[in-house]
Amino acid sequence: MKPKKHVFVCTQGRPPGHPRGSCMQSGGQAVMQAFLNELGSRNAFDRFAVTACGCLGPCDGGPHVLVYPEGVLYQRVQPEDAGEIFDQHLEFDEPVARLQAAPAVW
């Protein structure tokens, strides 16, 4: 079944000291796990998809999360933000403004 929304969580890693940094170094794997936990606890597998992905482009400001079909990019997402994104954006189509990347970034 086609999901209502698809969440991509960047888990891209780079070598330590890389000038662009990476979402993995800033906690991308923990953010991914938080989204998977929310998906499971809500039994929302038929409505939403959560996928780990590689680089989404803007590496500073990670971890990044991208929600489609709207194409909303979130930055500096922490594990505790996953529930809010589910509650507000995935369930009620209202992006979480405080986490959205600036227009110049995305």
Instruction: Note the pLDDT tens digit of each residue in 51-87.
Output: 999 999 888 889 999 999 999 999 999 999 999 999 9
- As a whole-number percent, the residues of the chain with pLDDT over 90 amount to 84
Other beta carbons within 10 angstroms of residue 2's beta carbon come to 7
pLDDT confidence of 14, banded at 50, 70, 90? confident
Tokens of 29: 């794997």
pLDDT at 60: 83
Other beta carbons within 10 angstroms of residue 45's beta carbon come to 12
For the cut 90, the answer to whether the pLDDT of residue 16 exceeds it is no
Output the pTM of the full model: 0.94
pLDDT at 2: 92
